[in-house]
Amino acid sequence: MGDTRRIGIAVDFSVGSRAALKWAIDNVARKGDHLILINTRPEGQYEEAEVQLWEATGSPMIPLNELCDPTIMKKYGTKPDPDTLDLVKSAASQKEVVILLKIFWGDPRDKLCEAIDNIPLDHLVVGNRGLGKLKRVIMGSVSNYVVNQSTCPVTVVKQAEA
């Protein structure tokens, strides 16, 4: 892809991931970049045969027009929220970036680290839910794990207090 940078943004379509996406668009994205939204879905039984094939390697790259199509997204078992779709549509037109979505099935910690090497990514931006120390010890922190295991620069965007 030459000078084109591939910037991954972990998205679960929550407030925290939207903040990370907005931060990446405002502070990192530049004309010609590929912003690759990385969504992880839980492992499980899926009816679609394609999903069963993609569980090991992730979905194919999904372009913006398909990301905005609810029928296509239903096939992947995900439903992007309207605010996230508005952000990426604006970024595509105003910043002149290419928006793609890649879906992985499994543990977000492992799948984000796999995405870094498999896509490959030049930079990864993840949100942080702001768990307290006790909850972070019990539940684990995806962002902390990815920062420590990543082979590329990772930016953690802390969720703003309400």
pLDDT: is 134 or 56 the higher one?
Answer: 56
91-102 confidence digits (pLDDT tens): 999 999 999 999
Task: Report how far apart the first and last C-alpha atoms of the chain are (Å, whole number).
Answer: 40
Domains and their CATH numbers in the chain:
6-43+80-95+108-158 (3.40.50.620)
Q: Is residue 152 within 8 Å of 124, Cβ to Cβ?
A: yes
pLDDT band at 158 (very low <50, low <70, confident <90, very high): confident
pTM of this prediction exceeds 0.75: yes
pLDDT band at 48 (very low <50, low <70, confident <90, very high): low
pLDDT band at 4 (very low <50, low <70, confident <90, very high): confident
